[in-house]
Amino acid sequence: MKGRWTIRTGRSEQSRRPGEVVAEVTRLAAEGVKELTLLGQNVNSFGRDLAPGIRTDFGELLRACDAVEGIERIRFTSPHPKDFRAPVIAAIAECEAVCEHVHLPLQSGSTRVLKAMRRTYTAERYLELVGALRAAIPDLALGTDVIVGFPGESEDDFARTLALVEEVGFDSAFTFVYSPRAGTEAAAMPDQVPHAVKIERMERLVELTQRLAGERNRARIGRVEEVLVEGPSRTDERLLRGRTRRNTTVNFNGTAAAGERVGVAISGATSTTLRGREHALVHA
């Protein structure tokens, strides 16, 4: 199925020219691609290295891709919280094809640990950004990355991470145990966290993120979700599989073909998936 594609918008802070990206998106749309993902090391910094010859930003690129006929869904990854500015938030809210899903890496809920990681934003700034995103995009799904056991992380630091994760209520989370790599600054830092402590903290974090994701998914029960069909379910060949605009996997009974957009009446949920039955899709 030509349902997804990845366009690299930058590598080592080197932006592709926007016309080049849009031309590729236009070609892919003509070939039947319906969903694309704009991928960069930090998509929010797109275009800055092109000035003064070309003055553009990531919000403008989202709008240009949204204008390409045939593209039904646009996603992007990964943004950096320090560069997530109002024009990009407005583009997500206003562009029909840009999905209501943002993967916003957190790493730690402790400003002290974030500073040690050289993340250049605070926990307070992160929460302000989440508030701005949700105010502009009411049905937004938020994903994140969290690292447990960074050198010097105290129990208080970790408690701050748990508190922030619960306050935000992420729809999904990739969680990692810090592992020192030879030659890195962090590997030489004092106060390395014992492995047993890292594992115990990870277990608490995973339990929390799964509970929160499950609650948010169960809140979708009774709704009709727009699903882009990908093919047979990986767990039950009698079912179909697809994704919502909020990037949640749905397994459902239906007869739609791969590449079609259908409505699915949601009847059940886990922390990672929804399930339901094909239903008439009604657009507002």
CA distance 77 to 81: 12
At 1 the pLDDT is: 45
Low-confidence ranges of the chain (pLDDT < 70): 1-12, 282-284
Residue 71 confidence (pLDDT): 97
| Distance separating alpha carbons of residues 162 and 167, to the nearest angstrom | 9
pTM of this prediction?
Answer: 0.92
- Structure tokens given for 1: 């199925």
CATH superfamily of 1-99: tm_1862 like domain (3.80.30.20)
In the numeric block, which tokens belong to residue 45? 């910094």
**DSSP string of 218-235?**
HTTTT-EEEEEEEEE-SS
Q: Which of 220, 213, 219 is nearest to 244 (CA)?
A: 220
What the block records as the tokens of 239 is 């079912």
Owner of token pair 């605009």: 245
Task: Supply the DSSP symbol for 257.
Answer: P
Residues in the chain: 284
Q: What is the pLDDT of residue 9?
A: 58
Interatomic CA distance for residues 109 and 163, integer angstroms: 8
Nearest Cα to 144, choosing from 108, 113, 103, 176?
103
Domain ranges of the chain: 1-99, 102-219, 224-279
Q: Tokens for 15? A: 């932006």
**What is the dotted CATH code of the domain comprising 102-219?**
3.30.750.200
| Contacts (Cβ under 8 Å, ≥6 apart) of 23 | none
| CB atoms inside a 10 Å sphere around CB 257 | 11
Q: How many CA atoms lie within 13 A of 13 on its CB side?
A: 6
Question: What pLDDT was estimated at residue 280?
Answer: 85
Domain range 224-279, its CATH number among 3.40.630.30, 2.40.50.140, 2.60.40.10, 3.40.50.300: 2.40.50.140
| pLDDT value at residue 51 | 86
The dihedrals phi and psi of 257, each to the nearest 5 degrees, come to -90, 155
pLDDT at 6: 56
Look at residue 8 in the predicted model and tell me its pLDDT: 57
Query: What is the token pair recorded at 20?
Result: 């080049």
Measured CA to CA, the distance from residue 136 to residue 248 in angstroms comes to: 20
Residue 62 contacts residue 92 (beta carbons within 8 Å): yes
Sheet containing 14-15: give its strands across: 14-15, 6-11, 35-40, 73-77
